[in-house]
Structure 1
Amino acid sequence: MIGLLATLAFAVPLAGGIILFKLDERKADVLMLSSFALAMVFQLWVAGLYVLNHFGESLHFAYLKSAQFGEVYGIIIDPMSVLIGTVVAVAGFIFMFYGMEYMSERNVGHPGGKGRGLFYAWMTLFEGATLGFVYSSTFLSLLIFFELMGLACWGVVSYYNTPQARRAGFKAFIIPNVGAMIGFYSAIYIGLTQLHDLSLFSLSHVSDSVKPWLFIALLFAGYTKSAQFPTYSWIPDAMEAPTPASAFLHGAAMVEMGVYLVARVLQFIGHLPTWVFYFMAVMVSVTLLIPILNYPVQKDAKRLLAYSTVAEAGIMFVGLTFASLGLDVGLKASMFQLTTHAFIKGLAFLTAGTFTYSLGTLDLRKISGLKEILPINGLSWGVALLGLAGLPPMAIAFSKAELLTSLKALHITDFAWLPILMLLTDSAVFLWVGMKWITRNVFGKPSVEDARTHWIITASLVTLIILSLVSAYLAYPLVEEINFYWGVGQ
């Protein structure tokens, strides 16, 4: 039963997305929202059954096997997939509920209406591919869903069909595709020629001489998906996408799935040499330096948030850097950060979208006095920026604290201080920049006399504010059950 429900959670939006290519306007609204709603219902059903009947267990369903290739397709239902699948389904529904109004003709900056069915089709496929990726248990299915996510990302980023959008869409597709070719093709080749099994469970049987290099190849696939150095540049350019798509690919899909991939590999691959830790620590520290230098010069709301995504994904990789040493706290902290980040970053992007919708601009220099003209929007902007800086009571503060209060890696090497110091520096610089914009955007003299909004937008923002406050408490029981499958969690 639980396996069927998990399959339906991603199969329904995949089917709905295909049909949506033929629909538009009101019919497209209904099918899109129904697809996202059903995916959320099935996923919450899975989560309920898992918590009540299988809490802490790992359920593996191998649906397709062969003598030559071993497991070809299957799913894993465990604390990690249940937690992240629930985040994707809930966040995706909220973002596209908001998206129905954002894509309407009432949007001041991007009047929509006719033609939105194409956007809905790509977004619904995006949802299905992401949930399929979360549950996959073999490298072949991971590759297929990885590429489907990339295709859907290309579709939504290039949706407005301007020269900049087409260029950004191509870049968002090709860079992760290069990562897929390096990482997944290597894993599938080894699975076919040496292990005769394509399952994640076979990773622990890779020879010690090959294992670290296979991990680095898969790590690079994760880096390209998560916009980490040296492949980060596609993510600021991808801001050409409609804002609901930006929220999804930053908050619950594209970027986070690179982190999720590496976390899954670390769960199964077994002991790695210490030099892998040093490599990851240097890479994540360089990655965090990029947004630190870029925050102060950003004037566009979405580009500011894009660089924040580079940093927040980097912070998730800080946890995975510690996990490469066999420390399960790093694995837990990374998935905890992914969960809480989804809602606060979604709140940030949807608020930025209201600037386009209500004021017709994303230029932060032209936005002032939200406290008087759009008070809910002003509140959500303040909560989002302070939350992304790591301030309590926002839930993301607790996931960052998980990294800062369990520094077991320091007992192994003093070099573990480097990513921690970069994490703290990033939070401090973002807080400084965020306070500057909150002072101007929220409390400054009103830039317009009046601005209209819509109840769908207000309801979406309020829901995300609540989830940004409580998601840590809801997620923590499952976070604590996340561990390695090779028996050395510490």
Structure 2
Amino acid sequence: MEELFVLSFSIPLVGGLILFKLDGKKADYFMLITVILATILNLIGVYDFWVKGMPTVHKTLISSSSFGEVYGLLIDPMSVVVGLVVITAGLLFMLYAKDYMSPENKEHPVYEGKGRFHAWMVLFIGATLAFIYSSSVLQLLIFFEIMSLACWGVVSYYGGEKAKRSAYKALIITNFGAMVGLYTAVGIGLTKLHDLSLFAYSGLDEHLKLIVFIAVMIAAFTKSAQFPLYSWLPDAMVAPTPASAFLHGAAMVEMGVFLLARFVQFMHPIPKEGFYAMASLLIATQIICILMYPFQRSAKRLLAYSTIAESSLMYVALAAAVLGMKTGLQASMFQLFNHAYVKGLAFLTAGTFSYALGTLSMDKIRGLIKSPVVGYSWTFSLLGLAGVPPFAVFFGKMAILSNASGIEKSPLLLAMFVLLLLDSAVFLMVALRSIHDMVFSEGTEKVEITPAMKAAMVALLILGIVAPLIAYPFVVKVGW
């Protein structure tokens, strides 16, 4: 089982490097073979893990007397369920990318350099999976930085001043988070614990736990684009749409949540002061997103603010976990899994606007009902993100609200729950306006996309409904 998971991230890491030397159809085929093989290996590993009763497997691969565990593998319900959503969503995004990155794309035709995009994306997938299965803080730091580098690669892909500026902004902000957060955690591990294993951090005293928690929270919040360092994410929408889908649905943003969840899990209990620092930033983030929704005219920027808000909701669940509620940790991972497919569908649908119509401006797009797959995908993804049943995000939000008993410990949790409901209501109103204007209206020629693009979107729609059934058996096993 362990070898299967190691291969599932090692193959993309190696394959991504090879893809820099390929282009055209050779790059397409090699990319698909690489990602499909990694997905198959991961799925077999998940099945084996489930059959064996979901045990926690921790293996130290490299250690030293001075640093303790340097490199290891951690397979548990949290890493397996998050790894599952990353690899399955990543495969569908890359299937879509094969045709999206082509000369037929009206907004951004691609004639050469396709292998470079595939290379960054496959490396992104490999680094994300390696990050998830890491058992030492040094590993988390290394793969955190590789993800930031891959993000720079895809955001800057189209070239031009705007793309380059947005790419460096994303790189600098997330690297700042790594320097403040993970470098601090590594430093304390080396000087106080003489061990970099996640398991060792429970041995810190309350003062050092609080320092590590606040530092890692900064790293996580930069990755997830939370207040005050959130503006890099809407700017990063200059990236090709399959990359945007992965950034928002299954990689960078969610990995910030996963990072903080790991430290909450292994350093439990966290001093209550950490909750107050977290809550103040989350409340500010939620308010900003609620105010920004009505003013967005670009489909991808609207979805970007939705991602910031949805990540904030995952952190609200983690805030409940900081107050001592194990169900908060479980709800956070549940929402992470449920959100990925619905958000991925929304972004791939927005990508069809760019591909077939040459624009992302929602004011210029009309009559999508003439193209049923595109029209219904846009409708269902927006309703799903607003938290309308039967889509998975509804169940994720209900899981977060199920931690209402934590209100007795802090009224700030009540404020965050109220903002969760307000965010859903405002986004639903914006979504209904968008659906009315863009889908059920006259105008705009039919949106023509390839069978592979349609297949990826239909698969995401189905997964966006059944995701809770897949995730639930795993997340209920998540604990301290």
TM-score (ref. length: structure 2): 0.99
Whether contact under 8 Å (2:169, 2:232) holds in the other structure is yes
What SS does the corresponding residue of 1:76 show, helix, strand or coil? strand
Rounded to whole Å, the distance in 2 between the matches of 1:43 and 1:411 is 41
Whether contact under 8 Å (2:404, 2:414) holds in the other structure is no
The match for 1:69 is 67
What SS does the corresponding residue of 1:283 show, helix, strand or coil? helix
Rounded to whole Å, the distance in 2 between the matches of 1:195 and 1:406 is 33
The match for 1:423 is 420
Whether contact under 8 Å (1:369, 1:447) holds in the other structure is yes
Whether contact under 8 Å (1:327, 1:408) holds in the other structure is no
The match for 2:41 is 42
Whether contact under 8 Å (1:368, 1:445) holds in the other structure is yes
Equivalences for 1:244-255 in 2 at 5 Å? 244-255=242-253
Q: State whether structure 2 residue 447 is matched by structure 1 residue 451.
A: yes
The CA RMSD measured in Å over matched residues stands at: 0.9
What is the Cα deviation at residue 414 of structure 1? 2.5
Equivalences for 1:278-293 in 2 at 5 Å? 278-293=276-291
Rounded to whole Å, the distance in 2 between the matches of 1:339 and 1:289 is 24
Rounded to whole Å, the distance in 2 between the matches of 1:171 and 1:54 is 44
Whether contact under 8 Å (2:264, 2:270) holds in the other structure is no
Equivalences for 1:82-481 in 2 at 5 Å? 82-372=80-370, 374-448=371-445, 450-481=446-477
| Poorly superposed stretches of 4+, deviation over 2 Å | none
Unaligned runs of 5+ in 2: none
What is the Cα deviation at residue 125 of structure 1? 0.5
Unaligned runs of 5+ in 1: 485-490
What SS does the corresponding residue of 1:72 show, helix, strand or coil? strand
What is the Cα deviation at residue 452 of structure 1? 1.8
Whether contact under 8 Å (1:281, 1:418) holds in the other structure is no
> Quick check: 25-34 or 411-420, which moved more?
411-420
Rounded to whole Å, the distance in 2 between the matches of 1:212 and 1:201 is 16
What is the Cα deviation at residue 272 of structure 1? 1.9
Rounded to whole Å, the distance in 2 between the matches of 1:193 and 1:479 is 34
> Quick check: 427-436 or 27-36, which moved more?
27-36
Letter of the 1:385 partner, please give it: L
Rounded to whole Å, the distance in 2 between the matches of 1:113 and 1:43 is 33
The match for 1:488 is none
What is the Cα deviation at residue 155 of structure 1? 0.2
Rounded to whole Å, the distance in 2 between the matches of 1:101 and 1:235 is 25
Rounded to whole Å, the distance in 2 between the matches of 1:415 and 1:177 is 30
Letter of the 2:441 partner, please give it: G
What is the Cα deviation at residue 363 of structure 1? 0.5
The match for 1:26 is 25
What is the Cα deviation at residue 408 of structure 1? 2.0
What is the Cα deviation at residue 104 of structure 1? 1.2
What SS does the corresponding residue of 1:209 show, helix, strand or coil? helix
Whether contact under 8 Å (1:370, 1:441) holds in the other structure is yes
Rounded to whole Å, the distance in 2 between the matches of 1:27 and 1:175 is 35
Whether contact under 8 Å (2:353, 2:447) holds in the other structure is no
What SS does the corresponding residue of 1:437 show, helix, strand or coil? helix
Rounded to whole Å, the distance in 2 between the matches of 1:406 and 1:312 is 17
Whether contact under 8 Å (2:101, 2:114) holds in the other structure is yes
Rounded to whole Å, the distance in 1 between the matches of 2:410 and 2:119 is 49
Rounded to whole Å, the distance in 2 between the matches of 1:83 and 1:272 is 24
What is the Cα deviation at residue 405 of structure 1? 2.5
What is the Cα deviation at residue 46 of structure 1? 1.1
Letter of the 2:282 partner, please give it: V
Rounded to whole Å, the distance in 1 between the matches of 2:60 and 2:405 is 36
What SS does the corresponding residue of 2:206 show, helix, strand or coil? coil
Q: What is the aligned-residue identity percentage?
A: 52
What is the Cα deviation at residue 451 of structure 1? 3.5
Letter of the 1:357 partner, please give it: Y
